[in-house]
Amino acid sequence: MDVGRVRNKQEIEKANIMRPIDHFLSLAGAEVAATATAHARSAGARVAALLAEAPTPADTLPPQRLEVCRYLAAARAEMRPDLAAAFEALEPSLAWRTRTMSNASPGFAEGHASARVLDQTGLEQRGGLVSGFSLVAPGITYPEHNHPPEEIYLVLSAGEWWQAGRGWHAYGPGEIVHNPPNIRHAMRGTAVPLLAIWFLLPR
């Protein structure tokens, strides 16, 4: 008996009966916990633990796609196949929105979008963790900003990330970006659109 083939078949069958959000977040949580290192290790473990908590309802917004979402296919092509398939199943339920920032450069309003997954207005809530997807079109910068909660990004498609005191660095699919509380940070799309899921940890 080919044990590997049986196990893969069982995993596929399990994925087919899971809710899309459970499937995607189980993969993302495992990736964050396994990949986070150094200062991000404890934050990665907390993210995975909070993702495993039982969900509670949220005031979910109706699904919405924006013009910038045309870049999702190119971003998805950069992703690991199982994550890409899980994201494709989850994405139709997302409410993509833009935000206004006073320090944004021209093109930002039309060149980015975010969609909440875990939050009061996300798809559901889990343990106080706030999470969502960020999409940034090629050549567009998501401007410098900061916030009190510690943050972890799971990079889904390649992009460049800036952090105060460190400058710009390129990260590829499957890598982790860790932002300590209140640090100034930014990100930008390069030749491909940047897609990532972020997790803000409860204090």
* Domain at 48, CATH number: 2.60.120.10
Q: Indicate if the pLDDT at residue 70 is higher than 90.
A: yes
- The whole-number average pLDDT for the span 102-112 is 95
pLDDT band at 10 (very low <50, low <70, confident <90, very high): low
- The whole-number average pLDDT for the span 51-67 is 97
pLDDT at res. 13? 55
pLDDT band at 80 (very low <50, low <70, confident <90, very high): very high
Is the distance from CB of 49 to CB of 126 less than 8 angstroms?
no
Any idea of the CA torsion for 142, 143, 146, 150, to the nearest 10 degrees? 20
> Rounded CA gap, 108 and 161, in Å?
16
Residue 202 CB neighbours (<10 A): 11
Better pLDDT: 41 or 13: 41
pLDDT at res. 119? 97
> Rounded CA gap, 33 and 87, in Å?
19
Cβ burial, residue 166 (10 Å; 0-12/13-18/19+):
exposed
At residue 171, φ and ψ (nearest 5 deg) are -130, 145
- The whole-number average pLDDT for the span 114-126 is 97
Number of domains in the chain: 1
How confident is the model over 135-146, as pLDDT tens digits?
999 999 999 999
Better pLDDT: 19 or 13: 19
- Average pLDDT of the chain to the nearest whole number: 94
pLDDT at res. 3? 54
Beta strands in the chain (DSSP E): 112-118, 130-136, 141-145, 151-155, 159-163, 167-171, 176-179, 185-188, 194-200
How confident is the model over 150-194, as pLDDT tens digits?
999 999 999 999 999 999 999 999 999 999 999 999 999 999 999
Closest to 62 (Cα-Cα) out of 15, 95, 96, 84 = 95
pLDDT at res. 39? 85
pLDDT at res. 12? 54
Task: Give SS3 for 113.
Answer: strand
pLDDT above 70 covers a percentage of the chain that reads: 92
For residue 135, give its domain range.
Answer: 3-200
Closest to 128 (Cα-Cα) out of 45, 38, 76, 55 = 55
Q: Indicate if the pLDDT at residue 14 is higher than 90.
A: no
Instruction: Tell me the β-bridge partners of 3.
Output: none
pTM summary value? 0.91
